[in-house]
Amino acid sequence: MKGICILGATGSIGVSTLDVVARHKNLYHVVALTANKNIDTLYEQCLAHSPEVVVVVDETSAILFKAKIEQSPLSNLRVLSGEKALQDVATLDNVHSVMAAIVGAAGLLPTLAAAKAGKEVLLANKEALVMSGDIFMDAVTHAGATLLPIDSEHNAIFQCMPAAYQTGVSAKGVRRILLTASGGPFRTMPIENLKDVTPAQAVAHPNWDMGKKISVDSATMMNKGLEMIEACLLFNVKPAQIQVVIHPQSVIHSMVDYVDGTVLAQMGCPDMRIPIAHALAYPERFESGAEPLDIFAVKHMDFEPADLARFPCLRLAYEAIEAGGTHPTVLNAANEIAVDAFLNEKIRFTDIPVVIEKTMQAIDVTAADSLEKVLTADHKARDISQQIIETLKIT
């Protein structure tokens, strides 16, 4: 049995991972679960999966969780708190696989720690790779870690790569990657109406069940921009080799175009248990719990190029990866701050790319050749973004 640590167990990816693991109890043993503040969901997960240790990052919530389990069947469960504890459980000796599903920059250090420890890293946290770039990929290589992508698009690309392909390698014969996107809920909304979009509208994704931050990223297409940067690193290709394709039905999750004219596509229902099961079983396959795709019910599939005027965040992502260095880190940090401000109704939906672009313009590109430089750029970008938001606040 393989021991698994799930970083971000109470989020949508964590919940789906536990659903898949529960279907294969003879193959996986849950060693560690982590959460930030959602102790009620974590409690139920612990009852169902009997982990050896949990991390509740927020110290106040950790105290409440310990009190919650005192008179329960979980009274002997080891409970840790604080951000350092995330790195500790991700590197435990009896952990074979680490599901990296913490959203945002908070997932960087524990995911990097897992890579440095030579674990099998199931990467659902795209921000960790976007921020640290070559630092992360070098850690995977030097430690002999296995890196398997969980994002449906990157998992699809991985499946369409040549046999025995390994992430981080430039595959022979690949001409380009066609990165599909649903287009989010505002694909056809008149551009002049986007300024009035509410947080409730932005988080209502037409196809996928995701957390609030990722749903907003999908609506702005920043999610696709981050995925483009991640794909450059995972598959060792240049930005010009990645074309974003709007595909509203979300049936084809991405495609690989080969030099001989062959285009391979991975298809399936929009259910994250499919890529999760693929990574957990790799190189074999097992049942995920997802509904099989009824190709006759699909009837037709539509494709169109991404409109950079409608989705300026995608343009900014291409600019960030072309600039290189710490610019992807700055892009990601500014986006996290801007999205949070939008969700809290401090700025408009259309202000999100404004905050990001102004932040990128305010910070010079520097080499991202150390973790210290990456974290410094991240902190600086967050401070500047907050200052810009103050000038844009809705009154």
Reported as a single tens digit per residue, the pLDDT across 49-97 is 999 999 999 999 999 999 999 989 999 999 999 999 999 999 999 999 9
Q: In the chain, what percentage of residues exceed pLDDT 70?
A: 98
The pLDDT of residue 149 is 97
381 — pLDDT class (breaks 50, 70, 90): very high
User: Torsion over CA of 353, 359, 360 and 365, rounded to 10 degrees?
Assistant: -160
208 — pLDDT class (breaks 50, 70, 90): low
* Coil, strand or helix at 263: strand
Q: What's the token pair of residue 210?
A: 């995701």
What average pLDDT does the segment 338-366 reach?
96
What average pLDDT does the segment 197-202 reach?
91
161-171 pLDDT, tens digit per residue, is: 999 899 999 99
The pLDDT of residue 203 is 87
Phi, psi values for residue 144, rounded to 5°: 70, 25
127-143 pLDDT, tens digit per residue, is: 889 889 999 999 999 99
Exposure string of 240-250, with b = 16+ CB inside 10 Å and e = fewer, is ebbebbbbbbb
The pLDDT of residue 71 is 87
Angle between helices 222-234 and 152-160 (to 10 degrees): 30
- Domain residue limits, the chain: 2-149
Contact (CB, 8 A) for 162 and 173: yes
> What is the sign of the dihedral through the CA atoms of 61, 205, 263 and 292?
positive
Contact (CB, 8 A) for 101 and 38: no
What average pLDDT does the segment 111-122 reach?
97
**Residue given tokens 């109406």 in the structure block:** 193
List the 120-123 sheet strands across, edge first.
Answer: 78-81, 53-56, 28-35, 2-7, 97-100, 120-123, 146-149
Give the whole-angstrom CA distance, residue 91 versus residue 73.
Answer: 26
* Coil, strand or helix at 3: strand
Among 33-37, 186-190, 376-380, 387-391, the minimum mean pLDDT is found in: 186-190
The pLDDT of residue 395 is 63
State yes or no: pLDDT of 209 exceeds 80.
Answer: no
State yes or no: pLDDT of 205 exceeds 70.
Answer: no
CATH number of 2-149: 3.40.50.720
The pLDDT of residue 127 is 82
Closest by CA to 363, choosing from 325, 317, 321, 313, is 325
The pLDDT of residue 184 is 86
State yes or no: pLDDT of 214 exceeds 90.
Answer: no
Q: In the chain, what percentage of residues exceed pLDDT 90?
A: 87
Task: Name the pTM for this structure.
Answer: 0.91
The pLDDT of residue 206 is 63
What average pLDDT does the segment 344-369 reach?
95
